[in-house]
A and B are shown apart, each in its own frame.
Chain A
Amino acid sequence: MLDFFFGHYAYWFSIILFSIGMYGMLFKKTLIKKIIGLSILQSSVILFFVSVASKVDATVPVYDYNIPVENVANYMNPLPHTLMLTAIVVGVATLGVAFTLLIAIYNRYQTLDEQELIERIHD
């Protein structure tokens, strides 16, 4: 049981981060806080993928002459690292788009609160 718990510890941390992000998205009233929650949720997914790629006693995926490449267990899996590398930059760009939309909303309705925003849209 203890072995099971500590063997999966990276996944538990990812799930905690995911829950924090989802809590922010569901319960917070301000749109900026919702976007911060979205960003936390995204980083939890990124950490999950990077933790899946690891192997015990393996080195980073940079080729070294002293470590033979035929034994695959010597190097970590490079594919999740690549995917998450692009996902981080795209996440930053989409965060910029989200804040741009928030600025546009604020310029038009003068508020970012969820309830007030719905009332002002219906007026």
Chain B
Amino acid sequence: MKYLKALILVTFAVLLIYAAADLPFRGDPDNRMHDERSMTNTPVAGNYYIQEAYHDAHTPNIVTVVLGDYRSIDTFGEQVVIYTAGIITLLVLRRTRRRSS
């Protein structure tokens, strides 16, 4: 069992190294994700955010604009997720208390 786990670990590490060898260099401005148009000739989201964020919301911090305006429904989902996590802690531990009393 232990050898199987070690085999899984080494296989996964080798797979990740093989995958990382094809990635562009760190900080390369010609990276695919920083291009103006993507491979299928559609506009790339990151460029639009950089160019139009201040014009759209008058907020200099681009990350805040993406978080609060462009992707606000996503952020709402994240907030519901952490709210659910808090409620889960309440429910799990309250159930323990009721059983032992």
Contact = CB atoms under 8 A, between A and B. Distances in A.
Interface in B84-101: 85-86, 88-89, 92-93, 96, 100
A108 B93 CA distance: 11
**Chain B: number of interface residues, binned into ranges:** 35 or more
Contacts of A57: 29
A12 to B, nearest CB: 7
A72 B50 CA distance: 7
Nearest to A86: B78
B63 to A, nearest CB: 5
A26 B63 contact: no
Interface of A: 4, 7-12, 14-15, 18-19, 22-23, 26-27, 51-52, 54-58, 61-64, 69-70, 72-73, 75, 77-79, 81-82, 85-86, 89-90, 93-94, 96-97, 100-101, 103-104, 107-108
